[in-house]
Chain A
Amino acid sequence: MTAYPGRTVTPPRRRAVGHRTAAGMLHALGLPVLLLVLWGLVATRTTSRFFPDPVTIADAFVDTWIGPAFVEDVLPSLARLGLGVAASIVLGVAAGTVIGLTPWLRELLEPLLEFLRAVPPPVLIPVMMILLGITDTMKVVVIVSGAVWPILLNTIEGVRGIDSVLTQTARSFRVTWWERLWFLVLPAASPRIMAGVRQALSVALILMVISEMFASSAGLGYRIAYFQRNYLIAEMWSGILLLGGVGVLLAVVFGLVERRVLRWYHGIREVNRA
């Protein structure tokens, strides 16, 4: 994927000392702080009720989310999200590997998968509500039914794109099927798989929120919609902030995992670049 070409060559941070750190901090925090101050100024001047100032939102954040609400609403949401993503990865990678390694199966399923992937995932929420009722299982299934496609399709592509010299070498050395899977196929496909997981994460988060806005009496999405319906503006903003935080946290965790899993790959790319 050429989508993130800049990621791989981040210079080592160790050398950044002294005033370079200070300049880096200024660059990193300057604009956010500036915008926050600007927001505060505008919020105190404006008559619109929909934009409370940052301090009010921060207060509402502490009052709303720190305490029992965290256990009742946030944790179950995150648990469903985690479960859905994990199931999508297992399903997507397993099915993707099988389909990718079997040419006739791939040709058989290609148009079907193209269609299924094109269905906007939130549309599946009403379908799952009809099929499974309004349950926790339904919410996890909704997340899986949306998040599995990017992983599945990327795994298929990744498995298919393995260098044929490698495959033939493995075959002529009589490497067993399992070993080939573990030491050749999955590592070779892992950059594509990780790209798929990255897409799947954002889809999963969207589906978590919407399925709760739609059919729930608890959870993050439900809470935010509830605040909005009751004109609890600052609380609603605090919910948006929390969701944003979850999104950022997911991105950070994914970045760490990706760097660990694909260390060899980034290493090769850097060598090739130099």
Chain B
Amino acid sequence: MRLPPTRRPRASRRALLGVAGLAGFLAVWQSVPALGLIDPQYLPYVTDVLARLSEQLVDLAFWRRLGSTMTSWAIGLTVATIAAVGLGTVVGLVPFLRRATHTMVEFLRPIPSVALIPLAVLMFGIQRQAALVIIVYASFWQVFVQVIYGVADVDTVARDTALSFGLRRWERWTHLVLPTTLPYLLTGLRLAAAVALILAVTAEMVIGNPGLGRMIELSRSAGDAVGLYALVVVTGLLGLAVNLVFRFVERRTLSWHESVRGERAL
């Protein structure tokens, strides 16, 4: 096999270039305030931001805020997923329901979830529940739409074959509907996880329930630019972690599926 020797240098070259790209970005960031292009008061030195970041890592209050944000994220995502899978399966399997709900879905889905922030605040005040309304609303649609498409995507030949082989209802579910829907569901879940994190942080910024988002807003109003940038970096890392975890889960769960197997063969 010739593959391994050609592959390894390319992979290491990629990693090296990627690290160089990150280092270049940090260098540019450092030099902009150093050269006086932007006042360090508005764009602090990257070294200061990283120093603050490492300070935060040993600060219990920081971890509590992070935990608070991630708790909202997890609860919101779970509730939205369960609701979306349940409703999506029913709506997707019954053609009448699909037709009847189509207009409603097409109208409700594009409503930006942040438009509901005032309503959520009125209903629940400055609490986690208000944030959850926003998070659940936004991530629900991501999963719901994918599940509807997935459930409806069952191959007609496979379905007829299953019927003529006399598969029972339960067997048709596990052997037919579930494997067809799973790729759609996981795509929806990955999108929903990212959206839920965005809205968890946003809700904290706008509503003011405790968490990273509120801390960002407080740093800004206190004029603490270093703290603000450090927290922005933290949210970026969180987003990255969420993306990577869900992508990993997707690849693992769908290792049998064409889309993943095809990639590996290349």
Q: Which residues of A contact B (CB under 8 A)?
A: 2-6, 27-32, 35, 50, 104, 107-112, 114-127, 129-131, 202, 205-206, 209-210, 213-214, 221, 224-225, 227-228, 231, 233, 236-237, 239-240, 243-244, 247-248, 250-251
Contacts and interface: CB of A to CB of B under 8 A. Distances in A.
Given A131-B38, A248-B110, A50 B202 contact: no
Contacts of B83: none
A109 to B, nearest CB: 5
B121 interface: yes
A104 B17 contact: yes
B115 interface: yes
A270 to B, nearest CB: 17
B113 interface: yes
B27 interface: no
A205 B118 CA distance: 16
A107 B14 CA distance: 6
Closest 6 CB pairs of A and B: A118-B239, A228-B118, A247-B110, A119-B236, A126-B220, A244-B111
A6 B119 contact: no
A187 to B, nearest CB: 24
A209 B114 contact: yes
B100 A27 contact: yes
A202 B110 contact: yes
Interface stretch (B56-64, B101-109, B159-167): B101-109
A120 B110 contact: no
Given A111-B22, A131-B43, A205-B112, A240 B118 contact: yes
Given A4-B149, A243-B112, 6 more contacts: A3-B146, A29-B103, A31-B103, A116-B236, A120-B198, A123-B216
Contact of B102 (A28, A50, A131, A209): A28
B153 interface: yes
Contacts of B187: 2-3
Query: Secondary structure at chain B's binding surface: helix, strand, loop or mixed?
Result: helix
Query: Secondary structure at chain A's binding surface: helix, strand, loop or mixed?
Result: helix
B235 interface: yes
Contacts of A129: 220
Interface in B68-102: 99-102
B2 to A, nearest CB: 19
Nearest to B43: A131
B202, B232, B243 interface centre (most CB from chain A within 10 Å) = B202
A2 B150 CA distance: 10
A194 B239 CA distance: 24
B122 interface: yes
A114 B194 CA distance: 13
A157 B116 CA distance: 34
6 contacts: A5-B149, A108-B20, A110-B14, A111-B21, A114-B240, A118-B240
B152 interface: yes
A244 B107 contact: yes
B18 interface: yes
A206 B112 contact: yes
A231 B122 CA distance: 8
Contacts of A120: 197-198, 201-202, 235-236, 239
Given A5-B153, A108-B17, A27 B236 contact: no
A125 B221 CA distance: 12
Nearest to B23: A112
Interface string B109-133: 1111111111101110000000000
A6 B149 contact: yes
B214 to A, nearest CB: 11
A250 B110 contact: yes
B113 to A, nearest CB: 7
A154 to B, nearest CB: 14
Contacts of A131: 38, 42-43
B149 A210 contact: no
A227 B149 contact: no
Nearest to B120: A228
A114 B247 CA distance: 13
A121 B236 CA distance: 9
B104 A31 contact: yes
A123 B201 contact: yes
Given A3-B146, A118-B239, A126 B216 contact: yes
B103 A209 contact: no
A3 B243 CA distance: 18
B250 interface: no
A224 B149 CA distance: 34
Nearest to A231: B122
